[in-house]
Structures are given as structure tokens and as C-alpha cells.
Amino acid sequence: MADLVVATREGLLCVPGKFYIDPWLPVERAVVTHAHADHARPGHAHYLTASPGAEVLKSRLGNITLEALPYGKKIIHNGVTVSLHPAGHVLGSAQVRLEYRGEVWVASGDYKLEPDGTCDAFEPVACDTFITESTFGLPIYRWDAQITVFDDICRWWRRNAEEGRTSVLFCYAFGKAQRILNGIDSTIGPIICHGATATLNRVYRESGVALPSTLSVHDVSAKEVFRKALVIAPPSAAGSPWMRRFGDYSDAFASGWMLLRGARRRRAVDRGFVLSDHADWPGLMHAIGATGATRVIVTHGHVDVMVRWLLERGLDASAFSTEYGTDEDDNVALNEAIAFKESHA
């Protein structure tokens, strides 16, 4: 049987279904795994996404023709049975299950295995062929439990507040910011969110995700409030005029890339907190094994390492060339990871 999914100029095409999964060029029909910019592009005529992520997708892409599918519900399109299943990455993230003439493929999008309070937990989906990311596909990437990271963030924030210094935490506005807000001790002091984060906080709250009360900088009239506050801001805010109002502050960055000393140094922040919304190396291996797939296709990240590892373990492994992971911050981080790998070769 011919491959059910192939890589084309526009993106990953389900051949018999005549639709694409997370395409990067405009197409007629797109199944979107989640609303991060490298997976959810504008310009498609018709979008299909998981119901929990529909409002996030609309908030980022505007007026689109969108069909929202509950997790686990099956639809048939051009003879292909399609269903979406939780990926545990961010709100509404999904794996795409495709069944055609007795063969099952799963395209995972991005995923993580540790559950958190902001999205449905990852569910392994049995399949013949599994398409997996490999953002952190090196054995050096192993995450501490998220509660350990949240406790570290809270200790840093509490110490800064006691010393009258603002705590500025840079993290991605969609997913990471809400996960941190959901996991930290909000009684330490006021929490101030950059506008880019506040917009997505509203969508999360309307979706039933518990987030603490937050302020905007315009809600604060007294500098004393800043001195005890935790400020959540996207990486793009670093070094901008927006930061000047905080006076004396300590800054930090929350990302899986903070595991690398070079990444922390290039960010020039006081602290790096290792927290990722992607699976680490053990998580990738566990997820692949849990599918029971005998064939694995690897996409963005450390593709060559993952493919070689899987081949050595008897799986039919190969790769798709994609345009995922092409946000500016991801490119910087990936370059740092490559430099680290080369320096330890």
C-alpha cells in the first residue's frame, strides 16, 4: 500500500484524504494540531482542529472557516477516518489519527507526557506508523518534575520580593505562560502580564482553565507594587522600552533550552528555569513505544539522532523535512543545541 501521508511542498499531505496536516503554505483543507505559529498558518480555506483549541486558533488567526472536532470523535473524509486525540502540549493540542483500508497512522504534532492543569493529558494512540517530533531528541534532555521547577520559580520570586526587586520571567505567551500561572503560588505577590500573554490568558479562562488574577502594567500606579511583583512577558519584551518601568529587576527565562549553559549565557538573564512543553528524551522514547508502531517518521528537531537510534532498535525509521520549529526563538535555541552537540562530539 502507498504511504498514507507524504511530505510535499505545501506540507504533510494525507494522499487519499486530500487534506493536509499543519501545512505551511495555503491549502484547501488543513487539519491543525495546535495554534503555535509554526503549525497554524494563515491562508487556508478550511481548518479542522480539536474543540478545546478552537478559540485559541481563532484568537491567533482571526476570521477563518473553522470546524471544531471533540477529542475522540470520528469523521470520514474521502474514505479516511479522522479523529483527534490529546497531545498534552498546550490547550487544544491534538494528535491526528488516520485510518484507511485497515492501516492506521498517527501524526503527533508537538507533545509532552507530564500532565498539567492547562490542557488535556497526552494519550497514546495505537497505530502502525507514528509521526513524531524530536525537538529535544537528544539523550541529554531529561526534565525534572514540573513541581520542582515551580518551587524554584517561587523561591526566586519570594527572595526578590523580600529584597524589593521585581521578578521578570520571560516565557512563550501561548502555553508556557499559562502553565506557569497555573502551577505557581500566586499568594507571594501581584502578578503582572504583558499584553501578548493577557490575551491568551483570557481564552484559557473562558475555556475553564484555572489561572490566578493578573494585572496589566496600566493597572499599577505605585512603584511599590512592581517591587513585589512577578512579571510574565514574552522573550520579545527583553530589552524593550516596556521594561524600563520596573526599575531594579531580576530576570529569568523558562524553557527546555535553559538546560544548556550557552542558551542561558546568550539570553543574558539572571536565572534559567528548565521547563518545556515538549517531551524530553525519555518521554519521546516512551511515547513511541506506547503506540506499538513498527514504523516511525521523525520531523523537526534532532532528526538524524532520533532516526539512527530508532533504526538501531529495529524500527523502520525515516524522516520528513518540514518547516516546523521555525519561530525566531526556536531557531536561536536550535542553533545553540547544535553548537552544544558539536562541541561534545
Residue 329 has pLDDT above 50, yes or no: no
Cα separation, 207 vs 217, in Å, equals 25
Q: Which residues, at least 6 apart from 338, have a Cβ–Cβ distance to it below 8 Å?
A: none
Side-chain half-sphere CA neighbours of 331 within 13 A: 5
| Paired sense of beta strands 66-69 and 75-77, if any | unpaired
Say whether 146-273 and 5-141+277-343 share the same fold.
no
* CB contact at 8 A, 65 and 27: no
* CB contact at 8 A, 94 and 109: yes
pLDDT for 265 equals 67
Query: How far is Cα of residue 27 from the mean position of the Cα atoms in its chain?
Result: 23
Question: What H or E segment, with its residue span, contains residue 264?
Answer: helix 261-267
What's the CA angle centered on 250, arms 194 and 179, to 5 degrees?
45
Cα separation, 220 vs 51, in Å, equals 36
Give the mean pLDDT of 316-338: 66
Residue 81 neighbours by CB distance under 10 Å: 14
Cα separation, 215 vs 141, in Å, equals 34
pLDDT for 320 equals 96
Residue 299 has pLDDT above 70, yes or no: yes
Residue 344 has pLDDT above 50, yes or no: no
CATH class of residue range 5-141+277-343: alpha beta
| Nearest one of 47, 60, 122, 128 to 90, comparing CA atoms | 122
Give the mean pLDDT of 289-317: 97
Residue 286 has pLDDT above 70, yes or no: yes
| Paired sense of beta strands 46-50 and 29-31, if any | parallel
What's the CA angle centered on 178, arms 174 and 181, to 5 degrees?
150
What share of the chain in percent tops pLDDT 70?
Answer: 92
Cα separation, 19 vs 249, in Å, equals 49
Q: What DSSP state is assigned to residue 236?
A: G
pLDDT tens across 40-94, in order? 999 999 999 999 999 999 999 999 999 999 999 999 999 999 999 999 999 999 9
What's the CA angle centered on 291, arms 290 and 294, to 5 degrees?
115
pLDDT for 24 equals 97
Cα separation, 97 vs 127, in Å, equals 8
**Strand order from edge to edge, sheet including 94-100:** 75-77, 80-86, 94-100, 103-107, 129-134, 295-301, 316-319
User: How do the domains of the chain map onto residue ranges?
Assistant: 5-141+277-343, 146-273
Cα separation, 270 vs 247, in Å, equals 15
Mean pLDDT is lowest, of 139-148, 186-195, 223-232, 304-313, for: 223-232
Higher pLDDT, 334 or 130: 130
Higher pLDDT, 262 or 210: 210
What's the CA angle centered on 198, arms 193 and 204, to 5 degrees?
125
* CB contact at 8 A, 87 and 80: no
Cα separation, 263 vs 27, in Å, equals 36
Q: CATH second-level architecture of 146-273? A: 3-Layer(aba) Sandwich (3.40)
| Paired sense of beta strands 19-21 and 12-14, if any | antiparallel
